Chain A
């Protein structure tokens, strides 16, 4: 039993932090950079990707014994495309304004390397419940990056947070909107694509700094006993 919990723990750690899809593997950068002009879009796309990722991981894992090795990639793409279509139709039906805001980037989830990458690297080699959990954690890690990036860009470029959250979460969410500050002239660059690259760079730098900081702290307590060298070289 402890074996399985440690597997789940490792999967969560890998997906959320150590091997984070957005920050470490740098997969799926196209939607990551293109739609994160505010939190709502980031969260919407993140959740859509998360759903597709869980669905495709489970399916790929279930059929992994029946798929010939030579044609596995086309099969995986078909599976992913099916789930993307399902999610796209769902968003189109229930969250139409969000559907319009995300536009082409919902169908483009098919080409998100994160999903095919997890199918190939993990789901095609492991049992379905592990694969499902892996999809959940990888998707959550990706969503987290999208939300952070969207939040920073929304604050810098618009001075607000959760603007238009009602498109995603329903009418009650209009009260979520926070006006951090208001300026006459927003920093347009943060909203434009170059701003996404710059902010993304800072987030990655921040993660690396945090990792280095933790590594340095973990090393410190070991007291080194230095011995005076008494012989010549």
Chain B
């Protein structure tokens, strides 16, 4: 009988990277379905474009690096990156937006740092920030939720607007975004931010047609969808509760305090939780195993930091939503967090 020597951790479920990644993108399905229901088939087209770009660019990079392409394709991390980026950008953005973003995410952010497991920054979010900084107009032109839109948008028109910028009838994206009252509509967070800076009260701002009973029409349900997927991941033990818990606590506690003292000029915690990319960020983006902190305590700090940054940037920053910036900033602090939260190995000193 031989005893094998193995490095810790000694208890693990034998999931391969591919299986973990498969769970992640399967858990995205409820959110993606709801997003498609509210924002149209564009979501599927973006995902498809992102996947094709990610596969091709990964194959090209692996070829340049003299490594087997199959290895990169088999671990499915590129799929997760591509899908996350595709659902983060507006559904009707021009095709080159998602292509540039995915190329940057895969080639520069992932492979130049050494490929799977070596990247400092979350590839999808770094790609998103590149796009947001470079092409602010396209990245903020979210289509209207279908129930508010005046013009129906069948699949052929969706394709046409993504690839040519116009529907078959010649409507531009700007025209599609005009609501019932003839005013171009922004996303809920954008609209709230603008109104609050114009000294409107919260209730006045919430009276706009883009808001339903729960939050922004569509956006609230999309967030609920991603929350559902996140709970599946928690149940499957793909992610631990520390990071999403930290993000939500870090965002909602300051938001609640700020709102209690300032109820007319602050966004309610519920709106914070169900707007923008909160749930997607908390459960799917911040939990990226490569770029997050490692120990449980570290993950908790990492999550709190992201949540706090989201609150700060949403409230006082220059952009309406902040998940991508918060995640990237927190990614930078991970080495420090890991250094100071390293658990003490049993029998190696530490606290008495």
Contact = CB atoms under 8 A, between A and B. Distances in A.
Contacts of B136: 188
Interface stretch (B9-17, B50-58, B127-135, B182-190): B127-135
Nearest to A190: B134
A188 B108 contact: no
B137 A185 contact: yes
Interface string A176-194: 0000000001111110101
A185 B135 contact: yes
A189 B136 CA distance: 11
Chain A, interface size category, equals under 10
B108 A187 contact: no
Contacts of A187: 100, 134
Pick from B108, B130, B136 the residue with the most CB of A within 10 Å.
B130
Interface string B137-171: 11000000000000000000000000000000000
A186 B136 CA distance: 11
Nearest to A156: B134
Contacts of B100: 187
A198 interface: yes
Interface residues of B, number: 9
Main secondary structure of the interface of B (DSSP, over half): helix
Interface in A31-85: none
Most buried by A among B134, B136, B138: B134
A194 B325 CA distance: 14
B134 A189 contact: yes
Nearest to A183: B96
Contacts of B138: 185
B135 A198 contact: no
B108 A192 contact: no
A118 B137 CA distance: 46
A192 B135 contact: no
A186 B133 CA distance: 11
Contact of B135 (A188, A190, A194): A188
Interface string B107-129: 01000000000000000000000
A188 B136 CA distance: 9
A111 to B, nearest CB: 26
A61 B291 CA distance: 51
A194 B138 CA distance: 20
With most chain A CB atoms within 10 A of its CB, the pick from B135, B136, B138 is: B135
Nearest to B131: A189
Nearest to B165: A184
Nearest to A192: B133
A192 B138 CA distance: 18
Contacts of A188: 133-136
A224 B37 CA distance: 68
Interface of B: 100, 108, 130, 133-138
Interface of A: 185-190, 192, 194, 198
6 shortest interchain CB distances as A-B pairs: A189-B134, A188-B134, A187-B134, A189-B133, A185-B135, A189-B130
